[in-house]
Chains A and B, each alone.
Chain A
Amino acid sequence: MKVLLSGNEAIARGAYEYGCVFASAYPGTPSTEILENVTHYKEIKCQWSPNEKVAVEVAIGASFAGGRALCAMKHVGVNVAADPLMTLTYIGVKGGFILVSADDPGMHSSQNEQDNRNYAKFAKIPVLEPSDSQEAKDFVGKAFEISEKFDTPVILRMTTRTSHGKGLVEVGDRIESKVERGFERDFSKYVALPMNARKRRVVVAEREKKLKEFVEETDLNRIEEGKGNIGFITCGISYQHLKEVLPDAPVLKIGIPYPLPMKKIKDFVSKFDKVFVVEELDPFIEEQIKAEGIKVYGKEFFPEIGEFSPEVVRNGLVKAGVLKEENKVEAEDKAIPRPPVFCPGCPHLGIFYALKKAKAKIVTGDIGCYTLAAIKPFEMMDTCVCMGASIGNAIGMEKVLGSGKGIAAVIGDSTFVHSGLTGLVEAVYNKSNITIVISDNSITAMTGGQPDARSGFTCNHEPTGKMDFEVVARAIGVEHVYVVDPTKMDETYKIVKRELEADHLSLIISQGPCVLYPQKVKREKFYTELENCTACAMCSKIGCQAIYRTTEKTEKGRFKWNIDTTLCTGCGLCIQMCKFDAIRPISRKGE
Chain B
Amino acid sequence: MESKNILLVGVGGQGIVLASEIMSEFFKRQGYDVKKSEVHGMAQRGGIVSSHVRIGEKVYSPMIEKGNADIMLSFEKMEALRWLYYVKKDGVIVSSNVKMVPPIVSTGAFEYPEDVEERVLAERPDAKILDIVSALKELGNDKVTNVIMIGALSTMFDFEPEKWLEVIKEAVPKKVVDVNIKAFNKGRELMGK
Contacts and interface: CB of A to CB of B under 8 A. Distances in A.
Contacts of B21: 4, 166
B15 interface: no
Contact of B65 (A310, A338, A548): A310
B61 to A, nearest CB: 4
Nearest to A446: B42
B178 to A, nearest CB: 22
B102 A337 contact: yes
Given A108-B39, A339-B102, A547-B106, A309 B45 contact: no
B85 A549 contact: no
B37 A165 contact: yes
Interface stretch (B76-84, B127-135, B151-159, B183-191): B76-84
Interface in A520-550: 540, 545, 547-549
B104 interface: yes
Contacts of A548: 101, 103, 105-106
A559 B40 CA distance: 36
Q: Main SS of the interface on chain A?
A: loop
A118 to B, nearest CB: 24
B192 interface: no
A221 B22 CA distance: 34
A293 to B, nearest CB: 32
Which of the four size classes fits the interface of chain B?
35 or more
Interface string B72-98: 000000110110111000000000000
A197 B104 CA distance: 57
Which of the four size classes fits the interface of chain A?
35 or more
Q: Main SS of the interface on chain B?
A: loop
A333 B40 contact: no
A369 B102 CA distance: 18
A369 B24 contact: no
A165 B81 contact: no
Interface in B26-53: 28, 33-48
Interface in B128-146: 142
B161 interface: no
A247 B60 contact: yes
Given A109-B41, A166-B34, A335 B65 contact: no
Interface string B86-124: 100000000000000111111111111100000100000
Contacts of A241: 60-61, 63
A516 to B, nearest CB: 8
Interface string A337-359: 11111110000000000000000
A116 interface: no
Contacts of A56: none
Contacts of B85: 329-332
Contacts of A332: 85
Contacts of B62: 132, 161, 165-167, 237, 240
B48 A109 contact: no
Contacts of B68: 310
A16 to B, nearest CB: 21
A147 interface: no
B107 A540 contact: yes
B137 to A, nearest CB: 13
A311 interface: yes
B11 A329 contact: no
Interface in A1-48: 2, 4, 29-30
Given A29-B41, A240-B61, 14 more contacts: A4-B21, A160-B39, A161-B37, A165-B37, A166-B35, A247-B60, A329-B65, A331-B66, A335-B79, A336-B104, A337-B110, A376-B104, A446-B42, A547-B106
21 contacts: A2-B28, A4-B25, A164-B39, A165-B35, A166-B24, A166-B34, A167-B35, A167-B36, A167-B62, A168-B28, A240-B62, A244-B65, A310-B64, A329-B67, A330-B85, A333-B82, A334-B82, A335-B78, A336-B111, A338-B11, A548-B105
